[in-house]
Amino acid sequence: MNFYSIKDAIKYEGHDSKNPLAFRWYNPDQKVLGKTMRDHFRFAVCYWHTLCWPGLDPFGGDTFMRPWHHMADPMEAAKVKADLMFETLRLLDIDFFCFHDLDIAPEGKNLKEFNANVTAIAKIFEKKMAQSGKKLLWGTANMFSNRRFMAGAATNPDPDVFAYCAAQVKHCLDVTKDLGGENYVMWGGREGYETLINTNIGHELKQAGRFLSLAVEYKHKIGFKGPILIEPKPKEPTVHQYDFDVASIYGLLKSYGLENDVKLNIEQNHAILAGHTFQHEIALAAALGIFGSLDLNRGDYLLGWDTDQFAMNVPELTLMMLEVIRAGGFTTGGMNFDAKIRRQSIDPDDLLHAHAASMDATARGLLGAAKIIEDGRLQAEVDKRYAKWSEPVNKAMLEKGAALEAIAARVHKDAIEPQPKSGRQEYLENLLNQV
Amino acid sequence: MNFYSIKDAIKYEGHDSKNPLAFRWYNPDQKVLGKTMRDHFRFAVCYWHTLCWPGLDPFGGDTFMRPWHHMADPMEAAKVKADLMFETLRLLDIDFFCFHDLDIAPEGKNLKEFNANVTAIAKIFEKKMAQSGKKLLWGTANMFSNRRFMAGAATNPDPDVFAYCAAQVKHCLDVTKDLGGENYVMWGGREGYETLINTNIGHELKQAGRFLSLAVEYKHKIGFKGPILIEPKPKEPTVHQYDFDVASIYGLLKSYGLENDVKLNIEQNHAILAGHTFQHEIALAAALGIFGSLDLNRGDYLLGWDTDQFAMNVPELTLMMLEVIRAGGFTTGGMNFDAKIRRQSIDPDDLLHAHAASMDATARGLLGAAKIIEDGRLQAEVDKRYAKWSEPVNKAMLEKGAALEAIAARVHKDAIEPQPKSGRQEYLENLLNQV
Amino acid sequence: MNFYSIKDAIKYEGHDSKNPLAFRWYNPDQKVLGKTMRDHFRFAVCYWHTLCWPGLDPFGGDTFMRPWHHMADPMEAAKVKADLMFETLRLLDIDFFCFHDLDIAPEGKNLKEFNANVTAIAKIFEKKMAQSGKKLLWGTANMFSNRRFMAGAATNPDPDVFAYCAAQVKHCLDVTKDLGGENYVMWGGREGYETLINTNIGHELKQAGRFLSLAVEYKHKIGFKGPILIEPKPKEPTVHQYDFDVASIYGLLKSYGLENDVKLNIEQNHAILAGHTFQHEIALAAALGIFGSLDLNRGDYLLGWDTDQFAMNVPELTLMMLEVIRAGGFTTGGMNFDAKIRRQSIDPDDLLHAHAASMDATARGLLGAAKIIEDGRLQAEVDKRYAKWSEPVNKAMLEKGAALEAIAARVHKDAIEPQPKSGRQEYLENLLNQV
Amino acid sequence: MNFYSIKDAIKYEGHDSKNPLAFRWYNPDQKVLGKTMRDHFRFAVCYWHTLCWPGLDPFGGDTFMRPWHHMADPMEAAKVKADLMFETLRLLDIDFFCFHDLDIAPEGKNLKEFNANVTAIAKIFEKKMAQSGKKLLWGTANMFSNRRFMAGAATNPDPDVFAYCAAQVKHCLDVTKDLGGENYVMWGGREGYETLINTNIGHELKQAGRFLSLAVEYKHKIGFKGPILIEPKPKEPTVHQYDFDVASIYGLLKSYGLENDVKLNIEQNHAILAGHTFQHEIALAAALGIFGSLDLNRGDYLLGWDTDQFAMNVPELTLMMLEVIRAGGFTTGGMNFDAKIRRQSIDPDDLLHAHAASMDATARGLLGAAKIIEDGRLQAEVDKRYAKWSEPVNKAMLEKGAALEAIAARVHKDAIEPQPKSGRQEYLENLLNQV
């Protein structure tokens, strides 16, 4: 299949290369802070935006005119897509991919047929993975596109949908395990509501918590080692989604005692729709012990919907990488692009340009973050700011035995009057820019 | 003091009254769903917007020119304000008031002097409360105006500020208890950050949780019966506030085991700044068991800051009251206006017009909500939507003993294929409008 | 065709009717301020949301499963839709409809075939209109769905698209005229850009202005009497749309001298996406002399995309009607719903519930606005606020002959020191609520 | 006065300097695209944020504790500020400054006294400017802080305020001219409304247009050579401001025939509050021929108010500089920082760090933009995209003599069917990142 214009994989050619299909910064084997770039990022190509989305938006249709979207036999189309996924991974020198069950195989007359289709394509994957060494970062079940999910999946008012989802997730988890997937993801695309007036929010939250518990129990039963990852998103297509943001999900996990089995897959575009920066969500997840994986796209701050653009902004990616490194880097997680080329980018090679450009930008983010860490001045400023907390009298206030009235008494006795100190924000922003 | 133009308290005069200072819908002793309006609402006047704010905004100064803002002796001014608070309560026939320590008394040279000032005014309150029967809905400590709090209160990088806050909260809790306050509120106005680059988010969250625990422990020691209420707000003045919304705070409470001692004081304007409707936040808090009290103002959906306008929108107030009733109504909580007249509303009577108008609008909201409940059709639709969950096989899925694989097996065995049903949103919206 | 459950047109049955498919407030022949409700509103059903949209959103497909979306012959489907449009108008007792060319007839192999299809359906319309007395509020050309328009229509970088649009608009204007359409609309759905980096904004604005001029000249040539209406929208699907809002379009019209031939079709949801209230956009258009027609849907203030919900909010509709009446009411314009039922509202009757409910809500808005006008107190307050401008010395400042230095001299001579007066916002809000 | 810690002006020391108070990229005499950096930027320090704002926000007071804010004699304080402005310019090696009348001198008992105070400080400026060679980029009148302007300045319902403003602007224009100011600015901080219900929008727009005309006429009379600049802002503190954005103001200028005398002073933070990128507003102003000057701050995309932070984001500044260069660079305009250090940045040197850092970041933006222009590939792509418009048959469509029907005929005759071409957005974004 000659989908792309190139035959040879894209290579690192150094900062000054003028070859439009080369890496200028992403050098997979270059070590940064003791780890190769390849291992820092664990990049993954996503099936849906890359191979399934035909370029439609709410006001217009297919612009891409991909051949496989116009084939008569859906299983034939599925095979073409499978070939192309591995070709894309090869050309981009990317190790991982991700999918929804519905991305890789067509629905049949019923769930049984759908499962069979998914399994058939998974068999093809297995062979290709063995040949190529490519790996599955995560699998997930699409429980939002079909009309049966229009009022939610696990949080549907109709328990038949809950049951159906259980059956779908079971199969998808099985397949993910069989393929050696490193994580299993749940994105609650329609787990929320359109209007509160027909919704029992308490009941739906209970359904959400219970469903997640069932999945966790099953994962243990079958010996799936990776975590289940939830992907926060505040809204769209729903008016309100229960997995609003990192903090919301943490509350749910604590309620059901799932905070050790479930981690988060955080996306930049979802973060900003919830009113947070990407780095905030990562830092918070790390602080709460639930940092898992990333969807590395970017949204448009001036638009109110998910634009899922390829990440290109080096200063933002630097701050993001700084938090990833502070969080200890990825274990099972990785960086799934989850980005789509603009619907006007109709040339096949636009897919390669987009991924390679974003890989380069992320590599520059890593190099910047590493410099900041090696420079040490930023961390030193932060440490200095909190330094007094390591004094015994202060440390004690955060520990058992402290009492409000005792602290109050000390304040009066010692006539403590706190002295404000500059937060030095502009100095630190300059420091970041310099480094 | 002849601050207002009227001497007699505002009275209910029926829907057709043309008297601009009369209630047309708020009839305190009218029973609705078996409870008087007075008891449904438990209205409270807030000190800060009503008596302390001089009309300034970030681009201009004092427009109100209140006499007490231009008096030489701050304790004299504090007494004038105290008189006026009780006069305002009398004229509006409102039973409760709320304050920050700094609203009622001036800072002195140090905390000791400040505490003494607060106590002195509290003594005046005591007398006035005894005479008038007026009550304190809640007190709170202002830990955001003074420059010592510029980098946060309990979450300040400087432990001296943490200690100082402990001393301030202790005194304010003591005073609130002495005045018979029904709740104690914490609004974390600066508990957040300006920039993540100088912030240790994990440490600050630990400070937040610990401080709250200290306050809860102290409350029990002194026998303060009411709950501690946290007021969610996502940002402003901070870039990010830890008490972002109901769901965020729930996570914090679960982490520290405080979900039985701490409830929420929810504000409409803060809700919409976080991307939620007011009714969502109430319904969610109720579902999580942490609904406490309300700040009944309204924001402007097209502006990105806290406008704290008086609530006037009857359909919104109807939906709000519906959730309050569903949540079981208030126990210790109530409806604090927390609203400020526009800075162009410079006539003293504008304060009365604003409160009375909002009380009338809220009363209409209650009457509407009661009609919806009595009509029963809305609830019947919702119940029907979730009805299948009461069937044993479905109920069992949410209970112990259920397993993903067993549910999946049943789906295949019974060839379950869920059938979508109309959500009937427009029909229900029409129903609400009719009633 | 038995699409809906009812056979008889919906009728006014008074406020207390419990019949779910009855008007409770919309009484077409009731006179309000000297004009029937029918003539105040000039309601129109839109083709696209009502008959063409299958319920898809960016994350899921067809939920409605309308028979005509699954018919083999597109012209047959077009005829079914035509029948159903007139049946819908009959059942709702609505006089007008609106369409895009692509809504009513399928594209063919080329523009010629498409035009022929459009004409064929228009012939059917003609007959049905003659029989039923129903009328066309406006027609418009869909120049955004087909991939040829992906980079814009008249503002496309490719002049072939500009030419193609000229041909399409010509035909659609001809058809609209033949059907007695009262206006012709242009919605510049993709007249904007995705990214400034590949865009020549100056050139595209010139294309926009020129195209509009060509259309106006042609309209005069063929004797089309109604205005051309532009529909402002700030973004979506584009990142930036040139017809951002009323004020932006006014600048374009002034540049090309088109302010007398072109009016605006204003939509609530587009207004709020641009950061304005609906009433602001109407009042501004009226003040600038370019108020034309309305798209009467509503957006969700907390969502950043076009939700196009049916308008149900009575207080908002009251303020809207107040501005419409102040603007002198409609001449050729009217109220096109331009609203879609939620994608979960899959029952055919949901379409009737939605329209009828919105008609009732709008009728209540009119009745409220009429009461406010008849009451007179609101207008009297506004007049009083500006009253000093009718004094000769003040009036003169706004007229020829005034000079900055002369006014300055008078200020010093008379020691003018302006005295602030209360804006009375809360009093007026209360007045609105009472009435 | 030893306000800052350094005595010698900050100097360019090259990219690798570790001196925190040095320029690393801003090299004033370095030529870029044939012009020195100094001349490209024409940087200006603003009086208000730098010397007048004490660090207050809506929830807290003075954090900076500047000595001059606590001096008894306001004219003495004004002189201290004047000294400090010139010291700041010297240390930062910046040539220009900007002020509001109220920034530089205190109000007196009446306008006459205020004018005298302003004149007295202006005399001091004159001397200092002669000695130092520093220049005035623009002056402006503060017509929003005093309570007399609470309901607007020129658009106030009270004509006395309009007159008062005329007197104030006259004096401020005189002073600006006497000081050799290169522009005169009008920011309509309160030229808008709080609520439409007490507002006559048509009358207020007429006031706005007339006032601007009076100022333009006066400017010509006194021979003030520079343009009047209007600064767009959509809202805050008002709910709606008439000078919403570039496109809105253009309509106003066209209405009053002022588009040749009035240009725009565009601010990044105001642009994003209006829903536009900074580069959009610059490109649009340039396309409309009304580009004047810039306020170079940055807002926070996730906050809904004016944060006025120092611009530090290099990729954004690159795109901004690209548009400035395309617009032909500045003539009378320049780059006023209009930025405030965060209220936690309480050290005097924070002011120097902030300005120097932003100058460095802007210099990097210029260097990047120059590289892009010299590289030529981006412009070549854009030119190619529009190339067909230079073919005679296409060009003719935009010129007199073209007719819709003739173009339509050609489309049919030639069977024109436009062929979509890739917009290549990701490729171009990569190109920008590389360069």
In this complex, the residue of A275, A302, A350 whose CB is nearest that of residue D427 is A350
In this complex, the residue of D59, D150, D302 whose CB is nearest that of residue B237 is D59
Closest Cα in chain D, distance from residue C5 (Å): 43
**Inside any domain, residue D9:** no
Nearest residue to B324 (alpha-carbon basis) of B41, B34, B35: B41
**Inside any domain, residue B170:** yes
Closest Cα in chain C, distance from residue B292 (Å): 24
pLDDT in tens, D330-349: 999 999 999 999 999 999 99
Identify whether residues D349 and D419 lie together within a single domain.
no
Closest Cα in chain C, distance from residue A197 (Å): 14
Closest residue in A to B408 (Cα) is: A167
Phi, psi of C155 (to 5 degrees): -100, 20
Residue where a domain terminates, one of C375, C401, C416: C375
Q: B171, B184, B386, B426: which to substitute to probe chain A, counting the most A Cβ within 10 Å?
A: B386
Identify whether residues C85 and C131 lie together within a single domain.
yes
Closest Cα in chain C, distance from residue D7 (Å): 44
With 80 as the cut, is the pLDDT of residue A1 above it? no
- pLDDT at position D2, please? 85
In this complex, the residue of B166, B201, B247 whose CB is nearest that of residue A411 is B166
Q: C10, C308, C422, C432: which to substitute to probe chain B, counting the most B Cβ within 10 Å?
A: C422
Closest Cα in chain C, distance from residue A235 (Å): 8
With 90 as the cut, is the pLDDT of residue B2 above it? no
Q: Which helix or strand (DSSP H or E) is residue A163 part of?
A: helix A159-178
Average pLDDT over every residue of B227-237: 98
Choose, from C103, C243, C308, C338, the residue flagged as catalytic.
C103
Chain A CB contacts of D318 below 8 Å: none
Report d(CA B314, CA B394) in Å as an integer.
Answer: 39
Domain count, chain C: 2
Phi, psi of B99 (to 5 degrees): -155, 155
- Confidence class of residue A2 from pLDDT cuts 50, 70 and 90? confident
Closest residue in C to B23 (Cα) is: C434
Identify whether residues A325 and A421 lie together within a single domain.
no
Closest Cα in chain D, distance from residue B325 (Å): 32
Average pLDDT over every residue of D277-290: 98
- pLDDT at position D105, please? 98
State percent of chain D over pLDDT 70. Answer: 100
Task: Determine, for residues B145 and D306 on separate chains, whether the beta-carbon distance falls below 8 Å.
Answer: no
Chain D CB contacts of C435 below 8 Å: none
Residue where a domain terminates, one of A332, A348, A375: A375
Chain D CB contacts of C403 below 8 Å: 214, 217-218
Identify whether residues C293 and C427 lie together within a single domain.
no
Mean pLDDT of chain B: 97
The three-class DSSP label of residue B66 is coil
Identify whether residues B351 and B395 lie together within a single domain.
no
pLDDT-flagged residues of chain C (< 70): 1
> Residue D390, exposed/middle/buried by CB under 10 A (0-12, 13-18, 19+)?
exposed
Which residue shows structure tokens 């008031």?
B97
Q: B6, B371, B377, B430: which to substitute to probe chain C, counting the most C Cβ within 10 Å?
A: B430
With 90 as the cut, is the pLDDT of residue B1 above it? no
With 80 as the cut, is the pLDDT of residue A388 above it? yes
pLDDT in tens, B368-392: 999 999 999 999 999 999 999 999 9
Q: Are A266 and A278 in contact (CB under 8 A)?
A: yes
- pLDDT at position D172, please? 98
Strand C335-336 and strand C43-46: the pairing is: parallel
Identify whether residues A216 and A89 lie together within a single domain.
yes
In one letter, which amino acid is A292?
Answer: G
With 90 as the cut, is the pLDDT of residue B399 above it? yes
Chain A CB contacts of C302 below 8 Å: 235, 239
- Confidence class of residue D164 from pLDDT cuts 50, 70 and 90? very high
With 80 as the cut, is the pLDDT of residue D1 above it? no
With 90 as the cut, is the pLDDT of residue D435 above it? no
Identify whether residues D318 and D394 lie together within a single domain.
no
Identify whether residues D298 and D394 lie together within a single domain.
no
The encoded tokens of residue B320 equal 């709000």
Average pLDDT over every residue of B162-178: 98
Chain A CB contacts of C59 below 8 Å: 144-145, 189-190, 236-237
Which residue shows structure tokens 């808090």?
B285
In this complex, the residue of D61, D147, D194 whose CB is nearest that of residue B62 is D147
Domain range for residue B207? 34-375
**Inside any domain, residue D7:** no
**Inside any domain, residue A246:** yes
- pLDDT at position A37, please? 98
Whichever domain contains B199, its CATH number is: 3.20.20.150
Residue where a domain terminates, one of A347, A375, A403: A375
**Inside any domain, residue A20:** no
Query: Under 8 Å CB-to-CB from B90, ≥6 apart: which residues?
Result: B9, B132
DSSP track, A26-67: --TT-EETTEEHHHHH-EEEEHIIIII--S-BTTB---S--G
Q: Are C361 and C309 in contact (CB under 8 A)?
A: no
Strand C262-267 and strand B43-46: the pairing is: unpaired
Chain B CB contacts of C344 below 8 Å: 420, 422-423, 425
Size of interface A-B (CB pairs under 8 A): 274
Task: Determine, for residues A302 and D429 on separate chains, whether the beta-carbon distance falls below 8 Å.
Answer: no
Task: Determine, for residues C425 and B342 on separate chains, whether the beta-carbon distance falls below 8 Å.
Answer: yes
In this complex, the residue of D57, D239, D302 whose CB is nearest that of residue B237 is D57
The encoded tokens of residue A56 equal 């439609």
Chain A CB contacts of C146 below 8 Å: 60-61
Question: CA distances (Å), D260 to each of D183, D213, D227, D264, in order?
Answer: 14, 12, 9, 11
Q: What is the pTM of this model?
A: 0.98
State percent of chain A over pLDDT 90. Answer: 99
The three-class DSSP label of residue B240 is strand
Report d(CA A308, CA A299) in Å as an integer.
Answer: 6
In this complex, the residue of B59, B144, B302 whose CB is nearest that of residue D237 is B59
- pLDDT at position B57, please? 95
Closest residue in A to B391 (Cα) is: A159
For chain D, list the contacting chains (3+ Cβ pairs, <8 Å): A, B, C
With 70 as the cut, is the pLDDT of residue B266 above it? yes
The three-class DSSP label of residue D416 is coil
Choose, from A95, A103, A306, A338, the residue flagged as catalytic.
A103
Angle at A34 between CA A30 and CA A40, to 5 degrees: 65
Chain C CB contacts of A149 below 8 Å: 60
**Inside any domain, residue B142:** yes
The encoded tokens of residue D374 equal 């010299």
Chain C CB contacts of B342 below 8 Å: 423, 425-426
- Confidence class of residue B63 from pLDDT cuts 50, 70 and 90? very high
Q: Are D342 and D53 in contact (CB under 8 A)?
A: no
pLDDT in tens, D186-229: 998 999 999 999 999 999 999 999 999 999 999 999 999 999 99
**Inside any domain, residue B14:** no
Average pLDDT over every residue of A259-264: 97
Task: Determine, for residues D150 and B300 on separate chains, whether the beta-carbon distance falls below 8 Å.
Answer: no
Q: How far is CA C70 from the centre of its chain?
A: 30
C295 catalytic, yes or no? no
Closest Cα in chain D, distance from residue C242 (Å): 9
Chain C CB contacts of A146 below 8 Å: 60-61
- pLDDT at position C99, please? 98
Choose, from D95, D101, D103, D295, the residue flagged as catalytic.
D103
For chain A, list the contacting chains (3+ Cβ pairs, <8 Å): B, C, D
Task: Determine, for residues C345 and B424 on separate chains, whether the beta-carbon distance falls below 8 Å.
Answer: yes
DSSP track, D370-400: HHHHHH-HHHHHHHHHHGGGGSHHHHGGGST
Closest Cα in chain C, distance from residue B139 (Å): 27
In this complex, the residue of D146, D304, D343 whose CB is nearest that of residue B150 is D343
**Inside any domain, residue B15:** no
Identify whether residues A365 and A397 lie together within a single domain.
no
DSSP track, D55-111: S-BTTB---S--GGGG-S-HHHHHHHHHHHHHHHHHHHT--EEEEEHHHHS---SSH
Angle at B270 between CA B265 and CA B272, to 5 degrees: 125
Alpha helices, DSSP H only, in B182-267? 201-222, 246-256
Chain B CB contacts of D57 below 8 Å: 58, 237
Identify whether residues B294 and B408 lie together within a single domain.
no
Identify whether residues D309 and D401 lie together within a single domain.
no
Interface of C to A at Cβ within 8 Å reads 55, 57-63, 65, 144-147, 149-151, 189-190, 194-195, 235-237, 239, 273, 300, 302-306, 342-344, 346
Identify whether residues C88 and C187 lie together within a single domain.
yes
